[in-house]
Structure 1
Amino acid sequence: MSDQISAGVTVHNLWPTQLTRTNLPGAEHANMVLKKLIVDQDAVQEDVTGQYLSQNLMALEHPAIKWLATCIDRAVLDYSRISNIDYSFEWHVQAWPNVNVNGDYHNLHNHPHSWLSGTYYVNVPDQSAVKMHRTDLNPAEISFFDPRPQANMNAVKGDGQCNPEFRTLPKNGDLLLWPSFLHHLVHPNLVDDPRISISFNVIFKNPTSHF
């Protein structure tokens, strides 16, 4: 079978769901500072991970936070250009730390009232020593799910349009960014070293001017 597309065929990639991934330069040094900052905060604040609506890590006057805020802003601009958004807009970032100790995970969810959501990975512990007693365990990975509920009903091998799940194991220093409507979950951390990340929402300052 020829791998050439026939002449005259127009391809429309309908309803794409874009997810960007960047490993940030300078992450190795920044993560040492951010890890201590988050661990110290977790020690004095009850349920620091669960209280995401009542805090904004980006408001801290801290050099490492300012570095991360700049990197997030750069990622948002890149995402908007990939999305062919050709007008200027303003946004703010609301962020919170996640500390997942052994056994912790995040249930399936999305992020209402936001445009984009993302996570920056400070410490993703090595899970290779875990004794896997089940084949469906994916420790410390994150899964994203096709937002079209019926899309996998006619799944065809090799057709990426029908793959219901995208799963990946982030690396330290990775910044993931995706549309906030996208459902996702975080698989359990199965080692004693905590899985530490910073999640955030990108919110339009003047939302009515963008619709």
Structure 2
Amino acid sequence: MADIRTLFVTPLYHAKLSEHGPAVDTEELETSCYSIAEDDEAGQDWCEDNGYPGYTSYASLTDLPWRFPIFADLVKSLDAHVAAFAEACQFDLGDKSLVLEDLWINILPEGGTHSSHIHPHSVISGTTYVAMPDGASALKLEDPRLQMMMAAPTRVKGARDELKPFIYVAPKPGDVLLWESWLRHEVPMNMSEDDRISVSFNYKWD
């Protein structure tokens, strides 16, 4: 009998934010995101200059937990989720730990997309979801081996997740997704008339 094993696993962590840390109200978080976006002229200018649809605080704000207490609570919760994921990944962190490197808001309007990318120089990246209206795009994750599959046939319909070249995950408000930062991902076009709102983050080994 042949022995077929699955090697080089790509883990994806999916949980309710409320499973760890202080309770974070998504409606209050949504209000805070809009309030910050309205006041962040530097972020608005960056989005316009770089053709970014909607709004992101990625290039403008580094102190969200200081500005709004709800973001400080969010970080406490994320710290616990990341610790749980790191343990599941069996990382040997030695005398260091995984610490928050950056945290930013994403408000993606109808028709907005975020092209395929990775998060270099970080260990764990992720997103927690604030508003996911009907028609909002799922997160698209790419098999990291894809560029090596030059002559591979397509997979059969209904293939197991670990054999698919792409996986689509449709989170709900209050969910958190974590993955290793080298995993390529993107946000396809938002087909909803309403904004898709999320808060993304990176953790580094420090």
Instruction: Report if TM-score (shorter chain) is over 0.5.
Output: yes
Amino acid at match of 1:141: A
For the 8 Å contact 1:57–1:65, the answer to whether it is kept is: no
1:18 corresponds in structure 2 to 11
- Structure 2 CA distance for partners of 1:113 and 1:49, relative to 1, 3 Å: farther
1:37 paired with 2:32, answer yes
With normalisation by structure 2, the TM-score equals 0.79
For the 8 Å contact 1:57–1:97, the answer to whether it is kept is: no
Name the stretch that deviates more: 49-58 or 196-205.
49-58
- Structure 2 CA distance for partners of 1:104 and 1:82, relative to 1, 3 Å: same
- Structure 2 CA distance for partners of 1:95 and 1:12, relative to 1, 3 Å: same
2:176 corresponds in structure 1 to 175
For the 8 Å contact 1:155–1:162, the answer to whether it is kept is: no
Amino acid at match of 2:11: Q
Find the aligned partners of 1:49 and 1:22 in 2 and give their Cα distance: 26
Q: Percent identity?
A: 27
Find the aligned partners of 1:177 and 1:104 in 2 and give their Cα distance: 22
- Structure 2 CA distance for partners of 1:64 and 1:50, relative to 1, 3 Å: closer
Amino acid at match of 1:195: R
Task: Give per-residue Cα distances to partners, 1:3-23, cap 9 Å, x unaligned.
Answer: xxx5x95x6542111110011
Name the stretch that deviates more: 160-169 or 181-190.
160-169
1:115 paired with 2:141, answer no
With normalisation by structure 1, the TM-score equals 0.78
1:147 paired with 2:144, answer yes
Find the aligned partners of 2:98 and 2:30 in 1 and give their Cα distance: 26
1:92 corresponds in structure 2 to 99
- Structure 2 CA distance for partners of 1:57 and 1:104, relative to 1, 3 Å: farther
Q: Tell me by how many angstroms 1:167 deviates.
A: 0.5
1:60 corresponds in structure 2 to 66
Q: 1:71 aligns with which of 68, 77, 100?
A: 77
Find the aligned partners of 2:92 and 2:25 in 1 and give their Cα distance: 32
1:105 paired with 2:102, answer no
For the 8 Å contact 1:57–1:96, the answer to whether it is kept is: no
Note the aligned Cα RMSD (angstroms). Answer: 2.5
Amino acid at match of 2:27: M
Find the aligned partners of 1:72 and 1:191 in 2 and give their Cα distance: 27
Matches within 5 A, 1:181-196: 181-196=182-197
Unaligned runs of 5+ in 1: 1-5, 128-138, 206-211
Find the aligned partners of 2:148 and 2:79 in 1 and give their Cα distance: 34
Q: Tell me by how many angstroms 1:58 deviates.
A: 4.5
For the 8 Å contact 2:123–2:181, the answer to whether it is kept is: yes
Whose Rg is larger? 1
Find the aligned partners of 2:63 and 2:174 in 1 and give their Cα distance: 17
1:81 corresponds in structure 2 to 87
Task: Give per-residue Cα distances to partners, 1:148-167, cap 9 Å, x unaligned.
Answer: 12248155543544310010
Amino acid at match of 2:13: T
| Number of matched pairs | 187
